[in-house]
């Protein structure tokens, strides 16, 4: 199984997960044109995509879905509790292309997909764990409150793409953000801060995770350097050496990330 981000920020998110036989996208918060151009760098045609899995309905996760599906007829999967809202937002001419999943595992080809709930301000927001050939990858972003249940779903993942959205001090000092927006981001249904991301990584140590990619960084309230250093410094403070005990990197906001091979 191979994994990379095609985009990862508050402006747009899209993840490519593929094997020789299956090719899926998680979210498509970038335009159809950008998605197609980036897939071409891997020799993947748009018609090769077997499914688009959606975490939730915010535009930075579904922006290009409607156009892509209408052009290429790709199947889209969303949680049953988000179905009615997603149906309205996507407005697909062929409703048979929008499929429901529940909290039970389901399969796409030889990939086993497990969705799990995360805390965010929408009817339903999920993360995903995907298992192929015995190797597990997980994605968890748009999380206001990290819980034991989410950490339990992440355990055993060779690669975790994990939200490090903001630096709390930088957010609070941002004069362009009104008080209600700061409250939303910091609340239990908002986004995961750098330090809470670091604490989550600490909890994953010893459960098979070898690589964490920090993702969904705010372009206003974070920087790649700040997110990385916050995580690395915290891990060092609890006796964990980053890039020895566990590898840490940051997903670029608008370009393709390194490609990870899960063997």
pLDDT band at 137 (very low <50, low <70, confident <90, very high): very high
pLDDT tens readout for residues 81-134: 999 999 999 988 677 899 999 999 999 999 999 999 999 999 999 999 999 999
- As a whole number, mean pLDDT of residues 62-91 equals 95
Residue 206's pLDDT is 86
**Cβ pair 117, 81 in contact under 8 A:** no
pLDDT tens readout for residues 138-157: 999 999 999 999 999 999 99
List, in order, residues 6 or more apart from 68 with CB less than 8 Å away.
Answer: 28, 32, 35, 46, 52, 74
CA 230 from chain center: how many Å?
20
């Amino acid at each position: 199984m191979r994994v990379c981000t095609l985009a990862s920020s508050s402006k747009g998110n899209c993840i490519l997960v593929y094997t020789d036989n299956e090719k899926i996208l998680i979210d498509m918060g970038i335009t159809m044109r950008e998605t197609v151009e980036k897939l071409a760098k891997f020799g993947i045609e748009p018609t090769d995509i077997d499914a688009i899995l959606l975490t939730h309905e915010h535009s930075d996760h579904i922006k290009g879905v409607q156009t892509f599906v209408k052009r290429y007829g790709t199947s889209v999967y969303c949680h049953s509790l988000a179905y009615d809202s997603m149906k309205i937002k996507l407005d697909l001419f062929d409703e048979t292309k929008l499929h429901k999943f529940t909290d039970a595992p389901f399969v796409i080809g030889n990939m086993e997909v497990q969705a799990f709930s995360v805390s965010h301000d929408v009817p339903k927001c999920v993360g995903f764990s995907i298992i192929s050939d015995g190797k597990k990858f997980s994605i968890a972003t748009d999380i206001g409150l990290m819980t034991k249940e989410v950490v339990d779903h992440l355990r055993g993942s060779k690669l975790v793409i994990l939200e490090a959205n903001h630096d709390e001090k930088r957010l609070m000092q941002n004069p362009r953000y009104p008080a209600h927006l700061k409250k939303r981001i910091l609340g239990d249904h908002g986004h995961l801060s750098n330090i809470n991301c670091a604490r989550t990584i600490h909890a994953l140590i010893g459960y098979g995770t070898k690589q964490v990619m920090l993702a969904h960084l705010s372009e206003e309230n974070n920087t790649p350097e700040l997110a990385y250093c916050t995580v690395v410094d915290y891990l060092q403070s609890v006796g964990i050496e980053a890039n020895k005990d566990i590898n840490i990197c940051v997903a670029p906001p608008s370009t393709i990330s390194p490609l990870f091979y899960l063997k």
